[in-house]
């Protein structure tokens, strides 16, 4: 949920779609891969810097406002875990002119990002 919330804040007119279990696709109409990198890097950094805390059921806030207040009141990152995302970026080209092929190319680049140590963008 936290990752999806951060993805929804994507800039550059990107539109987010859930692609599978933990995979998402961000489509930037009318932009090439290079023009999207800064917006995707911003999302990656936002997720990596988010103070994510795994809580027991009885520790969960009643609503989003209460959760936000709890995060603001936390003076340190004690009890937090780092969540990161890896991103593969592709665009239409002669070899990948159908949406399915572009997604397949992006998926291959996603795995390159994971092999490079995760928490990065490959294009």
Annotated catalytic sites, by residue? 22
Return d(Cα 28, Cα 91) in angstroms, integer. 9
What string of H, E and C letters represents the secondary structure of the chain? CHHHHHHCCCCCCCEEEECCCCCEEEECCCCCHHHHHHHHHHHHHHHHCCCEECCCHHHCCCCHHHHHHHHHHCCCCCCEECCCCCEECCCCCCCCCCHHHHHHHHHHHHHHHHHCCCCCEEC
């Amino acid at each position: 949920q936290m990752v999806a919330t951060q993805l929804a804040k994507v800039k550059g007119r990107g539109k987010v779609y859930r692609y599978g279990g933990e995979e998402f696709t961000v489509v930037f109409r009318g932009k090439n891969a290079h023009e999207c990198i800064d917006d995707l890097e911003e999302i990656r950094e936002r997720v990596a810097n988010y103070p994510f805390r795994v809580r027991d059921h009885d520790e969960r806030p009643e609503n989003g406002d209460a959760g936000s207040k709890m995060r603001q009141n936390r003076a340190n990152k004690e009890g937090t875990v780092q969540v990161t995302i890896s991103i593969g970026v592709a665009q239409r080209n002669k070899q990948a002119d159908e949406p399915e092929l572009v997604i397949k190319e992006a998926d291959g680049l996603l795995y390159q990002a994971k092999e490079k140590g995760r928490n990065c963008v490959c294009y």
